[in-house]
Amino acid sequence: MELLGRPATFSDPPALKDPQGFTTLGAITAVEHDKATVTLHCGEARLRLLLLTDDVVRLRVAPPGASFGRDFSYALDPGTTWHGPSALTVEENDAIVRIQTGALTIQTEKTTCRLQILDATGRILFADEAGPAWENAGSNGTDTVSHVALSARLRPGERLFGLGDKTVTLDRRGHRFALWNTDAFEYQRGTDPLYKSIPFLLSLHDGAACGLFVDTTQRMTVDLGAEANDRLRVEAPGSALDYYVLAGATPLAVLQQFARLTGRTPMLPKWALGYHQCRYSYRNEGEIREVARELRARRIPCDALYFDIHYMDGFRVFTWDRDAFPDPAGLIADLKQDGFQSIVIIDPGVKADDPAYGIARAGHAHDAYIKQPDGSPYTGKVWPGACHFPDFTNPAVRDWWGPLHAELLKQGVAGVWNDMNEPAVFIEDLEEATAITMPEDLRHDYDGHPTDHAEVHNAYGMQMLRATYEGLLRLAPERRPFTITRAAYAGTQRYGTTWTGDNTSSWDHLKLAVEQCLSLSVSGTPFVGADVGGFVGTPDGELLARWTQLGALMPLFRNHTTLGTPPQEPWVFGEEVERICREAIELRYRLLPYFYTLLWEAATDGLPMLRPLALPHPADETIRREAPLGFYLGSSLLAYPVLDAGQIQMNAYLPPVPGGWYDVHTGRHHPGDGGTVVPVETPLDRLPLFVKAGSIVPFQPVLQHVEENPVEELTLHVYPTPGAFTARLYDDAGVGWAFKNGD
Ligand code: GLC
């Protein structure tokens, strides 16, 4: 059976519920506080503000008769300690309760408990509209709370970034979204929901930045001014509302706070930054050896090759098809000898109907599978046919799953790719199709607090990645694991990298790749990429060339295509395209010291590697008005990828920076402290790239793979500006953890 893909079954944006059915907090009846916490009582309901620091506040709402809910979250980084605000004062008068920290003022209206959060200069960062609210299941208003909601005010000109990989423009204002991880095969612009649910927004208004993170893994509806232009509304099932407002002096500082909250990417092996070659699937040992041979013979640098689902025996995870791959260890050793790392796919579905399959039996023995309400293991169909699915929200199951990678590691596998972990389940009857995931009433452990699938769905993929990452680390503690996931919730970056799933070989998807990767970067997920060349369909040579140029600037740089398409490797479109792809890949390898420094900054400082132009220039009118699809790589390089067919010229907007910009290719200086538009030639072999005056960009010689030779020479390109300036360059062994000791 050839499995080309799944039907995409997308629903219209979910309707918002009638706000009339919701109850808001109402008048404040009592105020309690200590050094870091303020509790506002509104009759039987409570709003608790926890000041994690001077400029990060966590807000928890308990409707009447309900508690604040369990203090548990998969999103939060357990490694972060918050020390509370430097100072906290709480004052009251007849009209308001005023809470003051070293950086923020929080004013709450006494009659309604609606709040406003202001920065030290008095600018409003966040303001309730109706504020937090809840809906009771029954009509008499006394039943259990069924839904919670939050409504905040949106101001004219306010932009909203983030929310993960949503397929609209970077600024999400004016749209409504569903957050429900979905296998979105062949998604297009506007398709929603997709694979990831990251309920984080970055608001930019009047030069001020503010983050909002609503921490729930439930199916969420987020309306960003679609229903009413001046209102943000979030709705989710459940009875507790738990959210964070994050302030900071700059947009980047807000993102750093979000990284403190939900964690940073771990340091990855340096080869992760090389070029990766994939397809669904290299079918046998001969095919993968051939690709390796071509890459080296043609001097196209490459560090990683992928084994998609056909390497397995009947798609049984942790097995090999021994006809197609008779000697995995020998093959992987030979590839390694030539400088290729081997990455294998592992999906969550464990083939269920084969009594001879040891992993499936072990799953039963460990009581590892997601259960139906009657306690029997749930069965759903994926690539291998009927499957059971490990409950990765159970710590014992994660501990069982991790070590299953031992044999793969022994065979030399260097990285693991977790796919279909939304989780995706195929539907039998396509006519009736409404959903492609498992029933919402299935049972999960949820780290010791049993609940239904509806509550953990959006975190399932993340917990699978966690099981993989922690397992790899346990099996080979001296190594930096390399993992990729398709599904994600906030915090997933702590366990590895991600890509944007099953995109299409089209020019619009090239644009989407920029928008999705930048948005993921704003949403706490720095190591991202989109399938170069597009997954569904086939690019022509021009599109592959332009996509390879873009990919060369994305953290994860992987060419991938689906089953049944013609080859998509860089050499199949003729000599000119091959040369252009080679040059783009070579540029990536020459810039590795720069990229590696960005990775380290992401891992240590929580800084995004890719940055939309609005991040460093929140008050820039041209960027606000025209939203050009250029982006920063770190703080020095500015890329303007060519995103249209036949484009041989573009006008690139260079934002105002002291000393102006230099063209990386020509060295030409564009002064213009005030921001300028410069015409740029964009012949097919040119990717417009600029560098900010006052930067130092390190280049190394081209390597065929990261570990080919020790780099003994760096060339520092210095782009002067009047006055002194500094730059950071980070390097280490590229593998292992010795860097933690300063090595
Ligand atoms: C999914 C993945 C894709 C992979 C395919 C087969 O569609 O998104 O990348 O190649 O499954 O494993």
CA distances from 244 to 21, 200, 295 (A): 25, 9, 48
Ligand 1 atom with minimal separation from the 486 CA: 8
210 CA distance to ligand 1 middle (Å): 36
* Per-residue model confidence as pLDDT tens digits over 692-707: 999 999 999 999 999 9
Helix extents (H) in 117-223: none
Q: Is the CB of 288 under 6 A from ligand 1?
A: no
475 CA distance to ligand 1 middle (Å): 26
280 CA distance to ligand 1 middle (Å): 7
Tokens coding 383: 């690539």
419 CA distance to ligand 1 middle (Å): 7
Ligand 1 atom with minimal separation from the 3 CA: 6
Question: Quick check: 525 and 163 in contact, CB under 8 A?
Answer: no
Domain-embedded: residue 106: yes
Q: Is the CB of 308 under 6 A from ligand 1?
A: yes
Domain ranges, residue 47: 19-262
Domain-embedded: residue 476: no
502 CA distance to ligand 1 middle (Å): 7
Our CA dihedral for 533, 537, 541, 544, rounded to 10 degrees, sits at -10
d(CA 242, CA 73): 10
What is the arithmetic mean of pLDDT over 149-171?
97
Give the β-pairing of 89-92 and 56-62. Answer: unpaired
Q: Is the CB of 484 under 6 A from ligand 1?
A: no
- For residue 502, indicate whether it is catalytic: yes
d(CA 615, CA 628): 13
Q: Is the CB of 347 under 6 A from ligand 1?
A: no
Q: How many domains does the chain have?
A: 2
- For residue 445, indicate whether it is catalytic: no
d(CA 90, CA 107): 10
Domain-embedded: residue 660: yes
Query: Ligand 1: which of 308, 347, 418, 436 to mutate, most ligand atoms within 8 Å of CB?
Result: 308
Question: Quick check: 133 and 122 in contact, CB under 8 A?
Answer: no
Question: Quick check: 633 and 593 in contact, CB under 8 A?
Answer: no
Q: Is the CB of 589 under 6 A from ligand 1?
A: no
Q: Strand runs (DSSP E) across 240-291, as ranges?
A: 241-247, 275-277
The closest of 235, 254, 243, 177 to 215, measured between CA atoms, is: 243
Q: Hunting for tokens 């001969």 — which residue is that?
A: 286
544 CA distance to ligand 1 middle (Å): 19
CB atoms within 10 A of CB 371: 18
Cβ partners under 8 Å of residue 559, min gap 6 = 275, 276, 277, 278, 531, 532, 533, 548, 551, 568, 569, 570
Domain-embedded: residue 340: no
* Per-residue model confidence as pLDDT tens digits over 509-554: 999 999 999 999 999 999 999 999 999 999 999 999 999 999 999 9
Query: Ligand 1: which of 535, 558, 565 to mutate, most ligand atoms within 8 Å of CB?
Result: 535
Q: What is the pTM of this model?
A: 0.97
220 CA distance to ligand 1 middle (Å): 26
Q: Is the CB of 187 under 6 A from ligand 1?
A: no
Q: Identify the residue whose C-alpha is closest to ligand 1 atom 10.
A: 280
Domain-embedded: residue 568: no
Roughly what angle, to the nearest 10 degrees, separates helices 575-590 and 541-551? 0
Q: Is the CB of 486 under 6 A from ligand 1?
A: yes
Task: State the burial class of residue 572 (Cβ atoms within 10 Å of its Cβ: 0-12, 13-18, 19+).
Answer: middle
* Per-residue model confidence as pLDDT tens digits over 256-304: 999 999 999 999 999 999 999 999 999 999 999 999 999 999 999 999 9
Q: Is the CB of 40 under 6 A from ligand 1?
A: no
Ligand 1 atom with minimal separation from the 347 CA: 12
d(CA 489, CA 199): 8
Ligand 1 atom with minimal separation from the 281 CA: 10
* Per-residue model confidence as pLDDT tens digits over 113-146: 999 999 999 999 999 999 999 998 765 555 688 9
Amino acid at 479: R
Terminal CA-to-CA distance of the chain, rounded, Å? 52
What pLDDT score does 81 carry? 97
d(CA 223, CA 481): 37
Q: Is the CB of 502 under 6 A from ligand 1?
A: yes
What pLDDT score does 674 carry? 79
What pLDDT score does 144 carry? 82
What pLDDT score does 434 carry? 43
* CATH code of the domain containing 667: 2.60.40.1180
b/e sequence 71-80, b meaning 16+ C-beta within 10 Å: eebbbbbeee
* CATH code of the domain containing 160: 2.60.40.1760
Helix extents (H) in 534-617: 541-551, 575-590, 592-605
Return the sign of the alpha-carbon dihedral for residues 451, 453, 457, 463. Answer: positive
Catalytic residue among 502, 515, 578, 586: 502
* Per-residue model confidence as pLDDT tens digits over 307-317: 999 999 999 99
194 CA distance to ligand 1 middle (Å): 14
Task: State the burial class of residue 620 (Cβ atoms within 10 Å of its Cβ: 0-12, 13-18, 19+).
Answer: middle
Catalytic residue among 186, 419, 586, 601: 419
Tokens coding 511: 């644009």
143 CA distance to ligand 1 middle (Å): 44
- For residue 422, indicate whether it is catalytic: yes
Domain-embedded: residue 687: yes
> Biggest alpha carbon distance in the chain?
80
444 CA distance to ligand 1 middle (Å): 26
Domain-embedded: residue 413: no
Q: Hunting for tokens 């597009």 — which residue is that?
A: 534
* Per-residue model confidence as pLDDT tens digits over 389-408: 999 999 999 999 999 999 99
Ligand 1 atom with minimal separation from the 531 CA: 9
Q: Hunting for tokens 């600018």 — which residue is that?
A: 123
Domain termination residue (choose one: 201, 232, 262):
262
Domain termination residue (choose one: 212, 227, 262):
262
The closest of 556, 527, 650, 646 to 263, measured between CA atoms, is: 527
Ligand 1 atom with minimal separation from the 562 CA: 10
Q: Is the CB of 183 under 6 A from ligand 1?
A: no
What pLDDT score does 716 carry? 97
Amino acid at 574: G
CB atoms within 10 A of CB 21: 15
d(CA 742, CA 732): 9
Query: Ligand 1: which of 279, 347, 420, 568 to mutate, most ligand atoms within 8 Å of CB?
Result: 420
Q: Is 54 helix (H, G, I), strand (E, B) or coil?
A: coil
Domain termination residue (choose one: 262, 296, 325):
262
Give the single-character DSSP code of 397. H
Domain-embedded: residue 366: no
Ligand 1 atom with minimal separation from the 5 CA: 7
What pLDDT score does 432 carry? 46
* Per-residue model confidence as pLDDT tens digits over 218-270: 999 999 999 999 999 999 999 889 999 999 999 999 999 999 999 999 999 99
Q: Is the CB of 610 under 6 A from ligand 1?
A: no
